[in-house]
Amino acid sequence: MLIRLRRLLASPVRPARRLLASPARLVRRLLFPAAIVAALAVIAMASGSIWVRAEASGHVYDEQSVPSAPVAIVLGAEVYPGGTPSPFLAARLDIARRLLAAGKVRAILVSGDHSRWDYDEPGAMQVYLVARGVPVQQVVLDYAGFDTYDSCARARRVFGVTKAVVVTQTYHVDRAVALCRDQGIDASGVGDDSVRIYRGPWAHSMFRERGAIVKAAIDALSHRDPVFLGRHEPGVEDALHLS
């Protein structure tokens, strides 16, 4: 026993293992998963962009050359307090109004967000159009177009639209046409770029579109129902009958 104790006391003391990794090792451990996430994001955006462009190819036009269709679908955008459409939304509505006046479409379906009582995109769009000479009976309101996918899905499954001209901005039009065509609508698109003069909002929207394309591809793959599906609404049929 004494011999063992002497050996233990005589043996060199080993340094304790470091419990914390070095800063360099921590950085390496963090960088690797971050690089994987970044690579997956790039792949998702590239794949979504390829799908959107393929679906929309040959179906985007200017106002003069767009094929006629029974309905123009105007996708919602920001409405200011008091009900004034933002310049982006007003530009879309002006295109739809001109298409109606030129006989390119016979009715206008305005689709947007009315999830709160104090915020009403479709109502503001109707007021804007009627104030500029569009007959009220030719404007149909979809109060549950919470995003582009929902607007397209509801146009087809709730309002029975089978052929339409989709109206939005140029940075958005390919995605809108792709989603509407995915929902079974023979959709053409017209995009506005007159509001490009608002450089800040335009740049923000262009940046946001990258992520929106990924969401669009996921929505198309999942075939999810819109937030509110509901029963068939005859508003578009009635508007076409009266036109």
pLDDT, tens only, 150-162: 999 999 999 999 9
Question: What's the CA gap between 146 and 139, in Å, rounded?
Answer: 18
Question: What's the CA gap between 112 and 59, in Å, rounded?
Answer: 23
pLDDT, tens only, 168-213: 999 999 999 999 999 999 999 999 999 999 999 999 999 999 899 9
The domain locations on the chain are 54-242
The third-level CATH classification (topology) of the domain covering 54-242 is Rossmann fold (3.40.50)
pTM here is 0.83
Beta strand segments in 58-129, E: 60-61, 71-75, 79-80, 84-85, 107-111
Q: How far is CA 136 from CA 105, 125, 128, 213, in A?
A: 15, 11, 11, 34
Question: What's the CA gap between 8 and 79, in Å, rounded?
Answer: 81
